[in-house]
Amino acid sequence: MTFTKNNSRSLLAAFIICLSISVRAQDIHFSQFYNAPLSLSPALTGINGGDIRFAGTYRKQWNNALAAFTTFHFSVDAKIFNPRMDKGFFSAGLLLFNDDAGDTNLSTLTVGVTGSYTRRIDSENFLTIGVLVGVSQRQFDTGGLTFDRQYNGDSFDPGSPTFENFNNDDILYPDIGAGVNWHGQKTNKRSKLDVGAAVYHLNRPNQNFLDNGPKSSLPARFSLYLRPSMQVAKNWDIVLSGTAQIQQSYVETVAGGAGRWYMNNEHPSKQIAMLFGMGVRFNSIGDAVIPRAEFRYHYWNFGFSYDINVSGFSAATNRNGGPEFSLRYIIQKVRPHKSFKNCPLI
């Protein structure tokens, strides 16, 4: 049989479906993982310098290849203020993300709620535990698939029957996660550090599309991370970041560094700053280098990064891993001065 472009896409789409129901399937990922905090750990709920935080990320990966990925993430989290709690505070959040891939539009949609409790150890150290309870939907569309039985010996006939039986192209399952985070910060300085760990898919949900097929449990994903930020001068910070995502035999690490220059370093409501840096993603095939930039204006923060593929897959991507955009906005409420003693995070 002669392979056509449609045949190639069919094989690739079928391969993606097989990966999706395999026990080695991997979760979505972001180069700017620090700008998608609730997908990194539910214990990061409420860990920010304001009262309410909105965060969104959009990623387009491998657009030059046949199997492009489009990923969208949105979250909102807020501290639950209680003036009688001077030793800590509760926080709650909402997480939503969607991922689409390939000619079949294989998609994963997750909606979850997070909750956390932060204990103030002293004025510079905070310990948080958090949980995630959500529901996920996975589905695919067979309309973009073609099969060898539609090749009649002389030509490809898209109107020919496929003789394939897809009796279930949509599944729904619960998802549970938990995490812990330690936040340290220097009093009267911008230096701070978040370090923590989380585990997702604690309930090992079944993600098999076949009604009578064997159970295909989604493996637990372990998330390890740290992000130190060090004030080195009045107008300069050094920002480092690192994460390791472990899902069965698959391990991915992302590490990077950047410098942030403050054009106005007064109160956060008036800050204006620029950040430029570089990151590297490591996995079994090497993967990518990641230049990045951010612009902060008052309580707004806009980020951009671009994956430059350096693995063997660069032959298909022309070294273009893809762009990623992030946007964050923080609301800080005005309260009596004495009420700040229980949550003075920066």
pLDDT tens-digit map of 253-290: 999 999 999 998 777 778 899 999 999 998 765 678 99
With the C-alpha atoms ordered 202, 135, 60, 52, is the resulting torsion angle positive or negative? negative
**pLDDT score of 127:** 97
**For residues 174-196, b (16+ Cβ closer than 10 Å) or e, as one string?**
ebbbbbbbbbbbeeeebbbbbeb
- Quote the mean pLDDT of the chain: 82
| Residue among 126, 115, 97 at smallest CA distance from 45 | 115
- What's the pLDDT band for 69 if we cut at 50, 70, 90? confident
| Cα gap 15→98, rounded to integer Å | 20
Q: Give the pTM.
A: 0.81
- What is the rounded average pLDDT of the residues 76-101? 90
Tell me what pLDDT residue 295 has. 97
- Give the three-state DSSP class for 47: coil
Question: How many Cα atoms occupy the beta-carbon half-sphere of 98 within 13 Å?
Answer: 8
Q: What angle do CA 22, 225, 271 make, to 5 degrees?
A: 125
Average pLDDT over residues 207-231: 86
Choose the weakest-confidence range: 119-123, 143-147, 199-203. Answer: 143-147
**Tokens in use for 286?**
């090497």
Q: Where are the domains of the chain?
A: 5-342
Instruction: State the DSSP code for 151.
Output: B
Q: Cα separation of 177 and 133, whole Å?
A: 7
**Element spanning 261, H or E:** strand 250-264
Q: What is the CATH number of domain 5-342?
A: 2.40.160.40
Q: Please give the average per-residue pLDDT across 172-187, as a whole number.
A: 94
Percent of the chain with pLDDT over 70: 75
Pick from 40, 138, 55, 38: nearest CA to 91: 38
Q: Where are the beta strands (DSSP E) in 123-235?
A: 125-139, 170-185, 192-200, 221-233
Q: How confident is the model at residue 160 (pLDDT cuts 50, 70, 90)?
A: confident
